[in-house]
Chains A and B, each alone.
Chain A
């Protein structure tokens, strides 16, 4: 149960995101402002990584927060962290826009905008924030290099199968099989 200070100013520590999200669901603009202040940097990083263009990323960030405001009442704390919920909204929108804009530009812009940001496919920058993150990092490290790289290029950088195949200079069928094997091993490892 959130405290009445969910969006209050008497706390020295910022209120947890889940409380801010709950207060946002009740229409509290101040809570939403704080939610944005505490989470927009993370969401922008996620979106920018996928879209690789600041103007698109800003637009998607804006849409993501309008979605968060409108649907905050649907967030359920027992279904995962507030950050994971917000990131899912942002990622989905970013991937949709990336697919659409890439298709639109494919005709007249052969240059690959994916080259604008050189992704680092190693999991080394993982925050050791909590057990879940540590477990995922350990399990990613257990994957074969190509499996891990393919999964990270897809999830973190928004690459399609074809883009991963181009980048790793491998046939697309091989990439799909790396990803499928990697997903299975990841799941098995995380359930251990």
Chain B
């Protein structure tokens, strides 16, 4: 027995424990795919501590969570991908030992990161829509994989008679394009069309304008822009 964990194992143990800060966590994650020893140690610590999490008494989530998951799956998978298991003749071949071994290599990456991928995932962005940085009004999460913008009210939104409309501003040269209307006190998931998805990049921004009830009649903002925010890329 040694009397201390070596440096690599200490890093793995801290990563699983959750005590690393954001940038350290990102560094570990990006290293996992090319450092099998680190990946092995993280996997070991994951399994070592998991019974603590598994011992928590279950808490039933509200039904709308499942409804949103289903809606997101409908968006993300082509219909052919959702055929029944029993119709998939290839399934049993897929289940052979060889495939399982190949899957085992990938499993490491996936068990370790939140949503890691074997192919590059469409990026995700957040935007904090506010007039005052310390008092955001809405938090928007742009998920290109789910093809939706999830907008959650997080602060006080000034009351008024019209509608709040959310706009995508793809760049300095591009006209704003409507993403939909925002209810002032309720979370909303606005779909992103294929055309709009192509316009979303780290150079883009979101804005909210005040419009007549029912939204802008012209397809462009007609009222004042009351909130805006750049898109901030999120690590997968």
Contacts and interface: CB of A to CB of B under 8 A. Distances in A.
A81 B14 CA distance: 21
B31 interface: no
B194 interface: no
A40 B61 contact: yes
B147 to A, nearest CB: 12
Interface in B125-164: 128, 134-135, 141, 145-146, 150, 152
Interface in A50-108: 50, 55, 58-59, 61-67, 69-71, 73-81, 83-85, 87-89, 91-93, 95-96, 99-100, 103-104, 107-108
A48 to B, nearest CB: 6
B19 A80 contact: no
A45 B58 contact: yes
B117 A26 contact: no
Nearest to B97: A1
A73 B55 contact: no
A104 B69 CA distance: 26
A103 B61 contact: no
Interface string B67-84: 011001100110001111
Contacts of B62: 58
Contacts, number: 227
Contacts of B3: 184
Given A44-B60, A74-B106, A190-B48, A108 B115 contact: no
B61 A61 contact: yes
- Please report whether the interface of chain A is mostly helix, strand, loop or mixed according to DSSP: helix
B53 A91 contact: yes
B73 to A, nearest CB: 6
Nearest to B73: A69
A78 B99 CA distance: 13
Contact of A36 (B50, B69, B135): B69
A81 B1 CA distance: 28
Given A88-B46, A88-B50, A91-B18, A45 B106 contact: no
26 contacts: A22-B95, A26-B91, A27-B82, A31-B85, A66-B115, A71-B117, A73-B106, A74-B110, A75-B110, A76-B107, A83-B50, A84-B111, A85-B110, A88-B50, A89-B115, A91-B53, A103-B22, A108-B134, A125-B56, A126-B52, A127-B51, A133-B51, A158-B18, A179-B14, A180-B4, A186-B48
